[in-house]
Amino acid sequence: MGNFNVVLKRELASYFATPLAYVFIVIFLMLTGVFTFFLGGFFENGQADLWAFFNFHPWLYLFLVPALSMRLWSEERKSGTIELLMTLPISLKGMVVGKFLAAWLFTGIALVLTFPLWLTVNYLGDPDNGAILAGYLGSWMMSGGFLAIGSCISATTKNQVIAFILTAVVSFLFVMSGFNLVQEWITGWAWDWVVDAVAALSFLTHFNAIAKGVLDLRDVLFFLVIIVGWLLATAIVLDMKKAD
Amino acid sequence: MITVDNLTKRFGPFTAVGGLSFTVKPGEVLGFLGPNGAGKSTTMKMITGFLAPTSGQVTVFGHNVQEDSLAASTVMGYLPEGAPSYGDMSPLKFLRFVGEVRGFKGRELSQRVDSVVQALQLSTVLNQPIDTLSKGFKRRVGLAQAIIHDPKVLVLDEPTDGLDPNQKHEVRKLIQNLSKDKIVIVSTHILEEVTAVCTRAMIIAGGKLLVDDTPDALAARSRLHGAIRLQLSHADDAYQQLSGLAGVDEIERGDQADSLTVYPKKGVSLFLPINQLLQQNSWEVHEFHVERGRLDDVFRDLTQGGCLHG
């Protein structure tokens, strides 16, 4: 997988070579602001934490991350550069990991740029900075999960719009599977272990635990397994469908 | 050395390439000819390892392109059909990216990039996004990318498509200059290109190899091979006398009243007898031209299943 870092570098630079990076970051910062202050009631809560901020991240990622991940492979397939890339001496693994890491680092950058919020809570009160750090880490891990799903779906199609919509739908299922609505719906007819398995797949359950400041290794592991699993699927899809 | 062994590719019920076998030795410039959809690009994609064959295999300098694809890709340079490249990058960044992937660093990387930029005259557009470049420049960026590591094997899918005559000439010169100890495989629609750069030509149609020969031998299959085109005074008189000449197969009147094309019987050279006849009669000769044969006639005959003359 040797030179995945060359792919990573190219990919990350290409975000900033187009308006994509700036549009994404600006929208992300604006929406986190809106969610935190208006919907989350940041001030009304009267608590020095960033719960109101992290609480909305799953919903934000639901449509922002697919916008980022849709181009990962669809664009290469559409423009034919996939043929160039795949005949260069880079392993398939190196390409998949390089591209994914570039996108993941990019969401990391967007997250880091929300630091004024962190400054604000520290100015207003005396928050548990460890818990906030855990929240950031959890949010970043979760964005990785969404990106890995998006990477795989992007590999299946030349059409970025289809990649966007499918990624949003699949991601939505992964978020919702922990909700009472879904749980009650399947409890009626499915076996208990199925109900448990579906609940265990929920991004929300695992993220909420981390976002509250409880950094459980199992939750971190969950996202890592999700990422690795979907990236493996990406590699398999690419190998099967690269020339279609 | 490239060995292609019984290479077959099927897409569903459609056989794009059916049982292709050949070897290419260093120093050879192999031209792939064939109508659209003949399987040229599919074959090239399998040679470079992008496409997995349904059956059969390709070995490049001992590396199987499917099982040992990384090693095979290091000795190959490839210009895919349409010369795809990253549109938001500049040629400089793009070439540096390919160079880095190929394992070059620091000074050497810069030198490599400089030398291909010079070879393909890209210096004027070096910092412009590739998206904004003309078709000719894009093609040249694609070529630069393919030769940056001085590969032993160069696979070029329609390298001169979309170039103007001057640029075509430059690219052909480039291919000729680098092909001394290399293997070059070029696919093209342009038949003059085969005569200009290739030492060996293959005509493929319907995924099958029809002919594998030198461009000259291919041209010799043309009915026109050895035919003599004349433009002279007293064309009617000449027509009469030439008809009586031994070895003449047929005479055709040209578009202009005073031009004739004399076709020889197979294996006969008409140069001397006609020359003699012209001198004896002291006709005024405006043009005397010995045809070498036209590749496009041969190409058409072969790929459309027509009969071959000569």
pLDDT tens, residue by residue, A29-60: 999 888 888 777 777 766 767 777 888 888 89
Whether the CB-CB separation of B147 and B119 falls below 8 Å is answered with yes
- Counting every residue, how long is chain B? 310
Cα separation, B178 vs B152, whole angstroms: 10
Q: What percent of chain B lies above the pLDDT cut of 70?
A: 98
Shortest Cα–Cα distance, B64 to chain A (Å) = 14
- Does the pLDDT at position B255 exceed 80? no
Q: How far is A89 from chain B (nearest CA, A)?
A: 5
| Residue in B49, B80, B102 nearest the CB of A84 | B80
Contact list in A for residue B80 (CB cut-off 8 A) is 80, 83-84, 87
pTM of the model: 0.86
Cβ separation of B86 and A86 shorter than 8 Å? no
pLDDT for the residue B306:
46
**What is the predicted pLDDT for the residue at A9?**
93
Cβ–Cβ below 8 Å for B145 and A84: yes
Which of A86, A90, A236, A239 best probes binding to B when mutated, by most B CB atoms within 10 angstroms?
Answer: A86
Contact of A111 with A32, CB cutoff 8 Å: no
**Out of A179-183, A201-205, B167-171, B265-269, least confident range:** A179-183
Specify the DSSP element, H or E, that contains A203.
helix A203-211
Q: Do A81 and B86 touch (CB under 8 A)?
A: yes
How far, in Å, are A29, A53, B29, B278 from residue A34 at the CA level?
9, 9, 64, 96
Mean predicted lDDT score pLDDT of chain B:
87
Residue B125 has pLDDT above 80, yes or no: yes
CB B83 within 8 A of CB B141: yes
Would you state the structure tokens that stand for residue A216, as one six-digit string?
A: 């459980």
Statement: residue B309 has pLDDT above 60? no
Asked if the model's pLDDT at residue A233 lies above 70, the reply is yes
When pLDDT is averaged across residues A227-234 and rounded to a whole number, the result is 96
d(CA A93, CA B69): 13
pLDDT value of residue A157: 93
B73 contact residues in A (CB cutoff 8 A): 87-89
B307 band by pLDDT with thresholds 50, 70 and 90: very low
Q: What DSSP character marks residue B184?
A: E
For the cut 50, the answer to whether the pLDDT of residue B310 exceeds it is no
Q: Which of B48, B93, B103 sits opposite A87 (nearest CB)?
A: B48
In whole angstroms, give the CA distance from residue A27 to residue B137: 36
Q: What confidence tier does B308 reach under pLDDT thresholds 50, 70, 90?
A: very low
pLDDT at A174 over 60: yes
The distance of A148 to chain B (nearest Cα, Å) reads: 23
- Residues of chain B positioned with their CB less than 8 A from the CB of A89: 70, 73-74, 101-103
Tokens 């739908």 belong to: A169
Most confident of A204-208, A216-220, B93-97: B93-97
Of A80, A89, A242, the CB nearest to B73: A89
Distance of CA A197 to the CA centre of its chain: 21
Q: What's residue A197's pLDDT? A: 78
Tokens of B195: 């005569």
Interface with chain B: mutation pick from A3, A10, A81, A244, highest number of B CBs within 10 Å: A10
User: Looking at residue A36, what DSSP letter applies?
Assistant: I
* Mean local confidence (pLDDT), B193-205: 87
Interval B142-189: pLDDT, tens: 999 999 999 999 999 998 887 888 888 888 888 888 767 899 999 987
Residue B32 pairs with which residues in a beta bridge? B187, B202
pLDDT digits (tens, 9 = 90+) for B218-243: 878 877 788 888 888 877 888 888 88
Please indicate if any CB of chain A lies within 8 Å of the CB of B37. no
Region A83-95: mean pLDDT is 92
CA distances from B157 to A79, B143, B146, B177, B267 (A): 16, 10, 11, 18, 36
Phi, psi dihedrals of residue A156, rounded to the nearest 5°: -85, -15
Of B70, B80, B145, the CB nearest to A80: B80
Do B238 and B281 meet the contact criterion of CB atoms below 8 Å apart? yes
Is B76 part of the contact surface with chain A (CB cutoff 8 Å)? yes
Is B95 within 8 Å of B144 (Cβ atoms)?
yes
Cα separation, B155 vs A87, in Å, equals 11
Residue of A nearest to B148 (CA): A88
Which of A237, A234, A227, A68 is closest to A152 using CA atoms?
A234
Average pLDDT in the B208-215 region? 87
Q: What is the pLDDT of residues A140-150, one digit of tens each?
A: 999 999 999 99
Inter-chain touch A3–B101, beta carbons under 8 Å: yes
- On the question of pLDDT at A1 being above 60, the answer is no
Q: Cα separation of A117 and A110, whole Å?
A: 13
Using alpha carbons, select from B230, B221, B226, B220 the residue that is nearest to residue B248.
Answer: B226
pLDDT tens-digit map of B39-73:
899 999 999 999 999 999 999 999 999 999 899 99
User: Exposure of B96 by Cβ count < 10 A (0-12 exposed, 13-18 middle, 19+ buried)?
Assistant: buried
End-to-end CA distance of chain A: 24
Instruction: For chain A, list residues whose CB is within 8 angstroms of any CB belonging to chain B.
Output: 3, 6-7, 10, 13-14, 17-18, 79-81, 83-84, 86-91, 242-243
Nearest CA in chain A to B142: A84
Which position has the higher pLDDT, A176 or B26?
Answer: B26
Q: Do A10 and B89 touch (CB under 8 A)?
A: yes
Q: How far is A238 from chain B (nearest CA, A)?
A: 11
Find the mean pLDDT for residues A142-163: 95
Rounded distance, CA A16 to CA A102, Å? 11
Name the pLDDT band for A232 (thresholds 50, 70, 90).
very high
| Residue B73 C-alpha, separation from nearest chain A C-alpha, in angstroms | 5
Torsion of CA B92, B97, B98, B102, to 10 degrees: 130
Is it the case that residue B14 has pLDDT exceeding 70? Answer: yes
Determine which of B46, B61, B100, B149 to mutate to test the interface with A (most A C-beta atoms within 10 Å): B100
Task: Return the closest-CA partner of residue B117 out of B87, B135, B155, B143.
Answer: B143
Residue A87 to residue B49, Cβ atoms within 8 A: yes
Place of tokens 């058409």: B300
